[in-house]
Amino acid sequence: MEAAKTINHEAQQKLGRMDLSERKLFNDAFSTNPAKPGAPRLRLAKNDGGDTYANLHQGARAFAEGLYAGIRNPGMHKPQENHGGQQQLALEQLAAFSLLARWIDQAEVETAPAN
């Protein structure tokens, strides 16, 4: 859960978006729509007009949404039961959040053009 909170905070800082968090933040950040004033985007690649650009960003949005909807939110709202294998599960979850953190770190911030 700490990794999820830290990654959310780091993305907010990188984008200057304290008004959004978690799923809403990442859906907006990885949107393929152009950046708007107050709504910069994270770019994983240059937009060459091809499917790869759109797929990368759609995948990052879906991945981030899945992590926060399927791991972070349930983890914060229900007690954790220990059925064995919890350490392995925790490592796998941490690895997934680590990948999202890498994408955020490597992404370029696209801002709206100045008027």
Q: How do the domains of the chain map onto residue ranges?
A: 2-110
Q: Where on the phi/psi map is residue 38: left (φ > 0), alpha (ψ -120 to 50), or beta?
A: left
Selection from 34, 33, 32, 38 nearest residue 15 by Cα: 38
Q: What average pLDDT does range 74-98 have in this prediction? A: 76
Q: What is the pLDDT of residues 21-80, one digit of tens each?
A: 999 999 999 999 999 999 999 999 999 999 999 999 999 999 999 999 998 866 554 555
What is the mean predicted confidence (pLDDT) over 77-97? 77
81 CB contacts (<8 Å, ≥6 apart)?
none
Tokens standing for residue 92? 């796998």
Angle at 1 between CA 106 and CA 19, to 5 degrees: 65
- Residue 23 DSSP code: H
Look up the pTM and report it. Answer: 0.87
